[in-house]
Amino acid sequence: MNEKALKFTLKENEIVELKRSTSELKEAIIAIVAILNKHKTGELYFGVTNEGKIIGQQVSENTLHDISKTITDHIEPKIYPTIKEQIVAGKSLIAVTFEGKDRPYLAYGRAYKRVGDENRQLSTKELEQLILKKHKIVWEEEPSEKKIKDVNENTIKDFVTKAQKVKRINFKFSSVKTTLNKLDIIRGKQLVKAAEILFCDENRLKVQAAIFAGTDKLTFLDIRQLKGNIFDLLEQSTMYLKEHMNWRAKLTGEGREEIPEVPVRALEEAVVNSLCHRDYSNPKGNEIAFFKDRIEIYNPGQFPEEYTPEDFIKGTEKSVLRNPLIANVLYLRKDIEKWGSGLRRIYEVCKEADVKVEFKKLKSGFSVIFYRKEREETTQKTTQKTTQKTTQKILELIKENPSITRKELSERIGITENGVKFHLNKFKEKGILKRIGPDKGGFWEIVKK
């Protein structure tokens, strides 16, 4: 490396670490590990301040040997960096270049990750994920406790029919096991977890859908938990979005046209992406949330660390699949068009409809946020309509059974007990209902009809 090039790179960043002297060797080793765990390659210089000012470092054969030995003794798995003296501006530096693909790396028994120009210790969860990547153990390929008899045969037949129709498979349904084999989601007689998510009605997959009165989660007007296999949830989630967003009518020469506040195609793409790319090892569910000013679709699957949403919107990067088995089945049914194109399609559809959309990387996952432009009174009409349906149902159930409990109301209506309590309190405030006795053992009296 020549002097001009070195001066250009002497600035701390994600892959470059600067140390004043070898007295900071322990910190330097931690930095090496942090960079390796994030980028697999990097550079380190002794004799330079954090600001990039060259102050020099005394160098001898023993110095280089001591650095090499300390790195060997305190980094696991072992790496073998290039360590040499570099003369810049008449001063000696020690340049250490290193690489390694055998992640995770530990320094003094602990794992670290590079964040900007800082070294942060990995959490247990992050370390576990690195280990899983190293051994190529992914959640969807793990054995499932479900049996072939737990597979919904109608769902798998429907899949074959639709995949044939779009010409992405060329086989017919003969049996559940044969189809699972062709999709590579069964090992002998043992289903893998991808099969459980795709074709078993009873699984850990769920979507929580809610409508909130304002711009935060303090007061909700409706809340439901959607369950089923992934195809059921695609349908249920899309239906929930269609039913609860605002629509406006436009009269054309061909008649009346209903126009949604957010393009349905963008919402469908966001839903299928959230179910396809979520982290299924995380027990937290997917979420659909309506706020006064926005619609959020969230999934507990962190965006690939080395990428930004813009990389995929511009089409400069290929898809990074967290669940390739699940993604392949969705692709065969044409629920996803082309791997890596989902965000770009959402962005383009929303741009054409003049809808602002944001792709947000979170510590807990990833959200697609559609900002609403409809007037406040239109939004209020939508939320009022939802509220009226729920309150009407509550009153009907109380008329049928005055001793019904909040828990029973919750189960019958499909909202949480807190949601039921919210509506019951509104009834009591308006003098419509009165509770006689405790929640269990008492009964409701309708004061006004």
pLDDT by position in tens, the chain (length 449) = 444 445 445 788 889 999 999 999 999 999 999 999 988 999 999 999 998 999 999 998 899 999 999 999 999 999 999 999 999 888 999 999 999 988 899 999 999 999 888 999 998 878 887 777 666 567 898 999 999 999 999 999 999 999 999 999 999 999 999 999 999 999 988 999 999 999 999 998 999 999 999 999 988 888 999 999 999 999 999 999 999 999 987 766 666 778 899 999 999 999 999 999 999 988 899 999 999 999 999 999 888 777 788 888 887 666 677 899 999 999 999 998 766 578 999 999 999 999 999 999 998 899 999 999 855 444 445 555 556 777 788 888 888 888 888 888 878 877 767 677 777 877 887 888 888 877 677 778 887 65
d(C-alpha 318, C-alpha 315), whole Å: 8
CA distances from 276 to 138, 143, 272, 329, 340 (A): 14, 19, 6, 10, 12
Residue identified by tokens 């511009």 is 314
Helices within 166-202 (DSSP H only): 176-182, 193-199
Torsion angle of C-alpha atoms 291, 297, 298, 303, degrees rounded to 10: -130
Nearest Cα residue to 316 out of 347, 349, 348, 341 = 341
Give pTM, 2 decimals.
0.60
Beta strand residue intervals within 145-184, DSSP E: none
Residue 143: CB atoms within 10 Å: 11
Q: Which two tokens stand for residue 338?
A: 């082309």
d(C-alpha 361, C-alpha 434), whole Å: 47
- Domains in the chain: ranges and CATH: 3-123 (3.30.950.30), 140-199 (no CATH), 206-371 (3.30.565.60), 385-446 (1.10.10.10)
Nearest Cα residue to 361 out of 275, 302, 296 = 302
Q: Which two tokens stand for residue 283?
A: 């027990």
Non-local CB neighbours of 350 within 8 Å, separated by 6+ positions: 262, 263, 266, 356, 357, 370
Q: What is the pLDDT of residue 166?
A: 93
